[in-house]
Amino acid sequence: MTDTDTMTCHICGDSVSEADSTLCTHCGERFHLRLRNDSDGKDCGSVWVNEEFLSLEFACLNCLGVRPEGAPSEPPIGLGH
């Protein structure tokens, strides 16, 4: 990656760095994730321990089926579909 390349969070669209983001295990897209609870920043997903494989699993809000705060609600069926 060069200095001219910028990474963005696919949930909120803000810029991210490797230090404050990760890749979703499910869709492969980059999203904001605080890697420590005592650090500042935003979380556009979650991480947990996969007990079957004893590994960390990362998922963005889209793959978790969660609507981000401030996201517009979906229009009623028939009006915007």
Tally the domains of the chain. Answer: 1
Identify the residue with better confidence: 5 or 41: 41
Q: List, for residues 2-27, the tens digit of each pLDDT value.
A: 444 689 999 999 999 998 999 999 99
- pLDDT computed for residue 38 by the predictor: 85
- pLDDT computed for residue 75 by the predictor: 53
- Residue 71 and residue 81: Cα distance in Å, rounded? 17
- Kindly state whether residue 77 falls inside one of the protein's structural domains: no
Q: What is the pTM of this model?
A: 0.73
Q: List, for residues 53-73, the tens digit of each pLDDT value.
A: 999 999 999 999 887 666 555
User: Residue 44 is part of a domain; what is its CATH number?
Assistant: 3.30.40
